[in-house]
Structure 1
Amino acid sequence: MTTNHTTTPPATALIPMPAPAARIATTAGAAVALAGTFLAWTWTDQFPGNLTVTGYPGGLQVLTLISAALTLVLTLSGYGIRGLRWLTPGGTNSPVRLLALGTFGTTAYAIGAITYDLGGVVNLEPGAWVSGIGSLIAVIAAHGLPTDQPLHDTGTTTTGWQRFRNGLTAPPARRAAPLPAWAEILTIAVAFGIGLYIFAYGVDTDYTELFIGFLITAAFAFTALNRAGLISRLTALTTKHRNITLTAALVAAVCFPFTQQKEEYALIGANILIFATVALGLNVVVGLAGLLDLGYVAFLGVGAYAAALVSGSTMSAIGVEFPFWAAVLTGAGASLVFGVLIGAPTLRLRGDYLAIVTLGFGEIFRLTVNNLNGNSGPDLTNGSQGIPSIPDLNLFGIDFGLKHDIGGFTLGRSANYYLLMLVFTAVVVLVFRRSGESRIGRAWVAIREDETAATAMGINAFRLKLLAFALGATLAGLAGTVQSHVNYTVTPEQYQFAGSVPPNSAFLLAAVILGGMGTLSGPLVGAALLYLIPAKLQFMQDYQLFLFGVALILLMRLRPEGLVADRRKQLEFHETDQLDVPEPRKSDDVDAGIAKAGA
């Protein structure tokens, strides 16, 4: 038997160009693009963002400046500059190409938007041409860099100038020295601070052009930093310090309403928390237990209607007013009961059959509350009119409908409900984390992977699936109690399988799949993206379902494990360590031929 020896292919560039020249040209192009942001891009302030000022970037210029600066930093890390190599443990060249593309994409979009809105390229000032040409040079030169190769420790010491003269793609890799504990904690805090700033900037964008440019820049920057290995390095730190990470995330979330000056932007944050919490509850059912639930939004509706009926609304058929804590228990308890009643007879089904039944339950709930109007059924939910005039909460003497001054900041109604919903989100996160790491959580994962094998090992699959269904329904009911007060009203149209306005079951399921099934932060990220993008781009409302489908198709092709994936999913979808098949010997071929002839 012979042994196959494989050799690593040489590093090649997409565009033939000496590596040192390509790196110099990339650096120069990014610097020129950055310098152009300090010049005027147009002569009139009719284009939003006022790009007429020289020496002070604004609007889309800021995004080009940030992207060009990141391109410069990662390009300089390829020279072996001490302190920058920590940012690129996975290589420098492919991240530089992505960032150069992002810089060019943002700049080209800005130039196109100015030309379209103002009516021709004559409205462009020299600054736009400088940044456009510089970013184009950076893109072309970055594609002349060799492809990243697996790095290894050579055991030799070379200077950055020697590596530059040799044309190496990156400095010889050395195992990064572990950071002190205080430095790791500081890194986590800084990372969440940057994340808060980026999210607040995206929510606070005032016009469509700026938000689209923000999406282009953020998408390319995140992909580049992930390709560079920085995201993996930060993930390792957050995994090591889980409690510190959760605390930093909570502090960053608490600071968000203090960064927003407009009530509508704080309302976006409150709705994102509501839907993210519901998506996290659905993640228990879909991500951990592997039960495809297409009618999950009905449990959100059950909690919202139950809380609305006991909220003291003048349109409530019951006519009672519970304290908020009692209303929360009522909504969560009603969702729990419905979860058990629906799950008990249906969870003996599997796969597509279970999905069809849960889809039917969601539609039955919507039709039922629509018919409880006193004509088709008992007068309980006011039919299609729903239950309006739900009063604002008053907890501990704080009226959530009024503005409050805290430390020089004014928090409006939406900010008040945002902070209240943040408490519920923290509770749901704690429940999800504890249950996922428990014996029950491991049993859910076993059922998800192979229910037959799990049953053979002594796991009571039906009981545990019913428990997951009930827990997910309860978490959705908790969020529904707050949603009813945030929206002032609950109507049947709010709880459909699919619609142009969330929440709906398709939106929640897409958030779980997009973010990453079975993870803690995945549904939070997915819900934030899927709610924020349509909320900022109003023209996308009519095409929301189409765009959801396109996003899921691209995700399945490029990153099937989701934006935030656990180790199990990464190994499942990206396993490449296959055994080499030995080449057949000539004697084997002869023996096979003789056997075939004899047959």
Structure 2
Amino acid sequence: MTDTTTKTPQALIPLPAKAARYGTAAAALATAASTFLAWTWTDEFPGDLTVTGYPGGLQVLTLIGALLTLLLVLSGLGTRGLRWLTPGGSTAPTLLFALGTLGTTGYTMGAISASLGGTANLEPGAWIAGITALATTLLALGIPADVKDDEATRPWARFRNTLKAPPARPSATTLPAWVEILIIAVTFGIALYVFTYGIDTEYGELFVGYLILVLFGGTALTKSGLITRITTLTNKHRTIALTAAFVAAAAFPFTQTNDTYTNVAANILVFATVALGLNVVVGLAGLLDLGYVAFLGVGAYAAALVSGSADSTIGVHFPFWAAVLTGAGASLLFGVLIGAPTLRLRGDYLAIVTLGFGEIFRITMNNLDGQSGPDVTNGPNGIANIPDLVIFGFDFGETHTVLGVDLGRFANYYLLMLFFTIIVVTVFRRAGASRIGRAWVAIREDETAARAMGINAFRLKLLAFALGASLAGMAGAVQGHIQYSVTPDQYVFVENAPPNSAFLLAAVILGGMGTVSGPLIGAALLYLIPAKLQFIGDYQLLLFGVALVLLMRFRPEGLIADRRKKLEFHDTGQLDIPEQTSLPGTATTAPTKAGA
């Protein structure tokens, strides 16, 4: 009997494996070389891409993408010292970096043509870059996939199979502890550089190219298994990793020459800290809160009223620590008052009630103007002229020279906000790992089952609500001093720029519910994108909705997912029941899946 079964090619484009890899390497090298040529004839396009001899602007991103593609190809060829970069296989990450380089280069060519009036404004260097980037991608499609799948017969199925990667292999050698710590330090140093580059982008086109490369690059590093390997090291040296992360964050102001982008970073920290507080409510306890920004406003107003502002109707001036405690205490009180009658609701009903609370807070602050109600908050004008902080003689409103670097007002507040972020991260980690945290997770997964096991669900949900509210109030106390004023229109559901309730919830979901780093990354992305891409103003919510739909389709667990979410949203094979070996005279039990 003739076997007519044919093996499906493991590459989308049938090429000899070595030829495909060497061709990809050569094309990536050519793409990198093309960035040293002029891409346009006029410096009217931002970044001045007219210079021959060194890259500038968006050319730098193409150069980085091409060199990283080359590095991964060499890793796939077994080059000594580079195999450590791809413990999960090199095909998928190589293709993803090639696609990111092609996307950045293609976007640059399109942006030049659109802003200058046609493709006639492209110099030969741009065409060479586009052609070689396309060749890199096509040749990368000829590299055999890391995961074999004989059922992938159609082109789209074979392309998706090329993007699959097997689980990362454990390191064959045990590294000395000092080497592992050095790797952690270098990793956070690179992360600081990438974050700083994104904040320091001076125009929208450069930030779009940065987003394209970071999106594909981050996915590529995840597929390569390198992120998993780094995560293993950080879990092994958890305290050192957290210290390195905050040291890298504290170094950010020292990389800036002025306060323009430090202001952005300070507001990102406020947004991220509030998102981490919401993560207690949503990520751990599973309570859908759509009015969480109101607790930020309660803390900001309470601290502003006792800050010594000339516009304060109370006329008192507390020390900063007392003002922070006032803001956190006021938010905690409101959390208990709002949570006590409403937390007996679940799901959508709770979401509607909390959304109403957020709007009631904003309207109430508007009406406490002396005409519609008592004169407490100055109505729509809010509380302005909040003085700068002075702690132990250190005036946060003045420029100070530290280690030879001038730190301006926003750099001072950035470092102060980083201190409060450390407090919130510590509280979140301790709470999540405690007995109460495990009870919150049990309530989130199945409240009825948790009650049956003896958990007082209402009391623990109220505790989560109060803790999340107090953390938001603490951040609000600092926010009021950073912005000099608090007004009701800062605390809405979605109309203005972040932080607002919709974007806070999105930051938690985008980053990864129940994790520490997830909301921090999600908040940074959701604050930076509207701040940098102001030209999308009218389409901001449309693009935001499209991004959420794509996220729910391709990565519902968020960018940084814990183990529980990975098991919930993806078939990992851990629930498979192994095939039973039949005994003589008995039928063979077919393999099944749990829950089938």
Once the two structures are TM-superposed, the CA of residue 470 in structure 1 deviates from its matched residue by: 0.4
- In structure 2, relative to structure 1, the CA distance for the partners of 1:405 and 1:90 (3 Å cut) is same
| Residue of structure 1 equivalent to 2:162 | none
Once the two structures are TM-superposed, the CA of residue 342 in structure 1 deviates from its matched residue by: 0.7
Mapped to 1, the partners of 2:204 and 2:572 lie a distance apart of 42
| Residue of structure 2 equivalent to 1:17 | 15
Mapped to 1, the partners of 2:419 and 2:472 lie a distance apart of 14
Residue 504 of structure 2 corresponds to residue 508 of structure 1:
yes
- In structure 2, relative to structure 1, the CA distance for the partners of 1:109 and 1:399 (3 Å cut) is same
Mapped to 1, the partners of 2:442 and 2:11 lie a distance apart of 45
Q: Could you report, residue by residue, the CA deviation over 1:353-383 in whole angstroms, capped at 9, with x for unpaired residues?
A: 1111111111111111111111111000011
| Residue of structure 1 equivalent to 2:407 | 411
Mapped to 2, the partners of 1:133 and 1:20 lie a distance apart of 22
Among candidates 312, 315, 322, match of residue 316 of structure 1:
312
Gaps of 5+ in 1: 1-6, 152-168, 583-599
| Residue of structure 2 equivalent to 1:164 | none
* Contact 2:498/2:526 (8 A) holds in 1: no
Mapped to 2, the partners of 1:474 and 1:447 lie a distance apart of 21
Residue 53 of structure 2 corresponds to residue 36 of structure 1:
no
Residue 460 of structure 2 corresponds to residue 464 of structure 1:
yes
Mapped to 1, the partners of 2:238 and 2:561 lie a distance apart of 16
Shifted more, 241-250 versus 8-17: the winner is 8-17
Among candidates 438, 447, 450, match of residue 451 of structure 1:
447
Mapped to 2, the partners of 1:248 and 1:11 lie a distance apart of 45
User: TM-score under structure 1 normalisation?
Assistant: 0.90
* Contact 1:39/1:55 (8 A) holds in 2: yes
| Residue of structure 1 equivalent to 2:122 | 124
Aligned 1:529-540 pairs, distance under 5 A:
529-540=525-536
| Residue of structure 2 equivalent to 1:592 | none
- In structure 2, relative to structure 1, the CA distance for the partners of 1:70 and 1:190 (3 Å cut) is same
Among candidates 342, 347, 364, match of residue 346 of structure 1:
342
Secondary structure of 2:401's partner?
strand
Mapped to 1, the partners of 2:270 and 2:170 lie a distance apart of 45
Give the letter aligned to residue 392 of structure 1.
Answer: D
* Contact 2:88/2:169 (8 A) holds in 1: no
Secondary structure of 1:82's partner?
coil
| Residue of structure 2 equivalent to 1:90 | 88
| Residue of structure 1 equivalent to 2:206 | 210
* Contact 2:10/2:148 (8 A) holds in 1: no
Secondary structure of 2:37's partner?
coil
Mapped to 2, the partners of 1:133 and 1:91 lie a distance apart of 27
Task: Write out the 4+ residue segments of structure 1 that deviate beyond 6 Å after TM superposition.
Answer: none
Mapped to 2, the partners of 1:369 and 1:98 lie a distance apart of 50
- In structure 2, relative to structure 1, the CA distance for the partners of 1:122 and 1:543 (3 Å cut) is closer
Mapped to 2, the partners of 1:462 and 1:11 lie a distance apart of 57
Mapped to 2, the partners of 1:356 and 1:116 lie a distance apart of 44
Q: Could you report, residue by residue, the CA deviation over 1:278-317 in whole angstroms, capped at 9, with x for unpaired residues?
A: 0000000000000001111010000000011011111111
| Residue of structure 2 equivalent to 1:278 | 274
Mapped to 2, the partners of 1:510 and 1:34 lie a distance apart of 37
Mapped to 1, the partners of 2:553 and 2:443 lie a distance apart of 26
Give the letter aligned to residue 287 of structure 1.
Answer: G
- In structure 2, relative to structure 1, the CA distance for the partners of 1:178 and 1:391 (3 Å cut) is same
Shifted more, 230-239 versus 47-56: the winner is 47-56
Gaps of 5+ in 2: 150-164, 581-596
Mapped to 1, the partners of 2:440 and 2:540 lie a distance apart of 32
* Contact 1:276/1:527 (8 A) holds in 2: yes
Give the letter aligned to residue 312 of structure 1.
Answer: G
* Contact 2:87/2:170 (8 A) holds in 1: no
| Residue of structure 1 equivalent to 2:181 | 185
| Residue of structure 1 equivalent to 2:138 | 140
* Contact 1:500/1:542 (8 A) holds in 2: no
Once the two structures are TM-superposed, the CA of residue 580 in structure 1 deviates from its matched residue by: 8.3
| Residue of structure 1 equivalent to 2:547 | 551
Q: Could you report, residue by residue, the CA deviation over 1:221-245 in whole angstroms, capped at 9, with x for unpaired residues?
A: 1111111111111111111111011
| Residue of structure 2 equivalent to 1:106 | 104
Q: Could you report, residue by residue, the CA deviation over 1:112-160 in whole angstroms, capped at 9, with x for unpaired residues?
A: 2222222232322222122211111101111111211279xxxxxxxxx
Give the letter aligned to residue 136 of structure 2.
Answer: A
Q: Could you report, residue by residue, the CA deviation over 1:49-95 in whole angstroms, capped at 9, with x for unpaired residues?
A: 12222221111111000000000000111111121111101111111
| Residue of structure 1 equivalent to 2:43 | 45
| Residue of structure 1 equivalent to 2:259 | 263
Aligned 1:433-452 pairs, distance under 5 A:
433-452=429-448
* Contact 1:11/1:149 (8 A) holds in 2: no
Say what the alpha-carbon RMSD is for the aligned residues: 2.0
* Contact 1:373/1:381 (8 A) holds in 2: yes
Q: Could you report, residue by residue, the CA deviation over 1:166-204 in whole angstroms, capped at 9, with x for unpaired residues?
A: xxx99x978521221111111111000000000000100
Mapped to 2, the partners of 1:243 and 1:175 lie a distance apart of 22
Once the two structures are TM-superposed, the CA of residue 452 in structure 1 deviates from its matched residue by: 0.9
Aligned residues: 559
| Residue of structure 2 equivalent to 1:155 | none
- In structure 2, relative to structure 1, the CA distance for the partners of 1:8 and 1:467 (3 Å cut) is farther
* Contact 1:68/1:100 (8 A) holds in 2: yes
